[in-house]
Amino acid sequence: MSRKWQILIGIFLAITLVYAPVSFAASKTADYKFKWRMPQTMPVGDDHDLRALAFAKEVKEKTDGRIDITVYSGGVLCDWVECYENIMTGDIEIALSSFPDTFDPRMVITYYMPYLFTNTEEAKKAFATDGWYYKMVDKLLLQNGIKGLALWPQGWAGMTAREEPKGWREMKPNGMKLRVMPLKACELTWQKLGYIPVTIPYSDAFSAISRGVADGQSGGPPYQGYQFREVQKVWLQYNDYLEPWWFYINLDLWDKLTENDQKVLIDAAQRQCQGRWDFFLKEAADFSQKMADYGLKVIQPTDAELKGFADAVRKDVWPKLEPLMGKSLVDECRKNVGIPVK
């Protein structure tokens, strides 16, 4: 055999060895067909439901039917805690919801970490797939057997009250009993802002205010405040947190997908989350106006006032959260809001 033919055969064999495994892997995974269930707890017809359906439709179309997702809205499959557990174990494949700390105490940071941001532009950057908050939480999820696809902004939170709290700008103690979520971070935050925090289930909050057990309530954006219009006189937009939800999937299942299908899932989830920003900002403006039209006093603190709240909470409350979340996570937050880490 001539030297020329030896070289040509050698090149052919090298190419075959390099590309054969790739071709085999592609053919091995290209023929899968999945039917997944996707729960989310908000009602049918709500923005959450519509965006979940749009996500499922895009995924099915762009995977040529390889991934067929059925959306179950209104909590018919599970509540948000059960949902997370089922995704961890693989009993349910994919979901849109917030995260509990039931199975990992560090996950508190994924739901209520006060004053990580004070405005939408800061939050948008942190929530993006290359943002610091996204990356920090995604690492925790991977350790729990879950892959995060996209961060969903639920809305800026505030509080309602019977009357305008005295000294709210200076965070002076005002004697008001405020319903807060049953989270230590919430209690410490609202105490710092001047209130007497009372942990009451949300389902009992209206009754508690009606009976005088509480003077106000916190925990959600203006659409939540509007639900209390008959028993409250003031809405105060504290922006203490921007409630984060996620599109997320079981990690073992994620690892079975081709890179192309993984990209389809992330792109589709990101598209719906990007659309959510404009929606919740408009929704907040609409419900703030509805409260004003009903007769509530709507108070929007200035940027300087919000920064004052954030500085105070970050200084006094964040150190007390280290035993719950771990110092390394709190330090990560400090670093990304410009606080020197000791």
The stretch 18-23 carries a mean pLDDT of: 41
- Residues 10 and 12: their CA atoms lie apart, in Å, by 5
Beta carbons within 8 Å of 125's beta carbon, 6+ residues apart: 131
Query: Of residues 29 and 154, which shows the higher confidence score?
Result: 154
pLDDT at residue 96 in the model: 97
- Enumerate the H helices of 31-117 as residue ranges: 47-62, 80-89
Per-residue pLDDT tens over the stretch 298-315: 999 999 999 999 999 999
Task: Pick the range with the lowest mean pLDDT from 13-27, 109-123, 285-299.
Answer: 13-27
pLDDT at residue 85 in the model: 95
Per-residue pLDDT tens over the stretch 244-275: 999 999 999 999 999 999 999 999 999 999 99
Q: Is 36's pLDDT higher than 80? A: yes
Confidence (pTM): 0.86
pLDDT at residue 30 in the model: 54
Question: Tokens representing 60?
Answer: 């099915």
The stretch 203-231 carries a mean pLDDT of: 96
Count of CB atoms situated within 10 Å of the CB of 162 = 15
CA distances from 333 to 102, 119, 168, 217, 328 (A): 22, 16, 26, 27, 9
In percent, the amount of the chain with pLDDT more than 70 equals: 91
Residue 7 C-alpha from the chain's centroid? 58
Q: Is 169 exposed, middle or buried (0-12, 13-18, 19+ CB in 10 A)?
A: middle
- Residues 116 and 110: their CA atoms lie apart, in Å, by 11
In percent, the amount of the chain with pLDDT more than 90 equals: 85
The β-bridge partners of 236 are: 159, 299
Per-residue pLDDT tens over the stretch 84-137: 999 999 999 999 999 988 888 899 899 899 999 989 999 999 999 999 999 999
What are φ and ψ of residue 122, in 5° steps?
-60, -45
**Most distant CA pair in the chain, distance:** 99
Answer whether 215's CB lies under 8 Å from 112's CB: no
Sheet with 297-299: strands ordered across: 196-199, 177-180, 216-220, 158-161, 234-236, 297-299
Question: Tokens representing 167?
Answer: 């000294």
Q: What is the CA radius of gyration of the chain?
A: 24
Q: Is 19's pLDDT higher than 80? A: no
Locus of tokens 């409350």: 317
pLDDT at residue 11 in the model: 43
Q: With cut-offs at 50, 70 and 90, classify the pLDDT of residue 8.
A: very low
Per-residue pLDDT tens over the stretch 222-247: 999 999 999 999 999 999 999 999 99
pLDDT at residue 101 in the model: 85
- Residues 342 and 325: their CA atoms lie apart, in Å, by 17
DSSP string, 144-176: TTEEEEEEEEEEE-EEEESSPPTTTTTT-----
Q: With cut-offs at 50, 70 and 90, classify the pLDDT of residue 1.
A: low
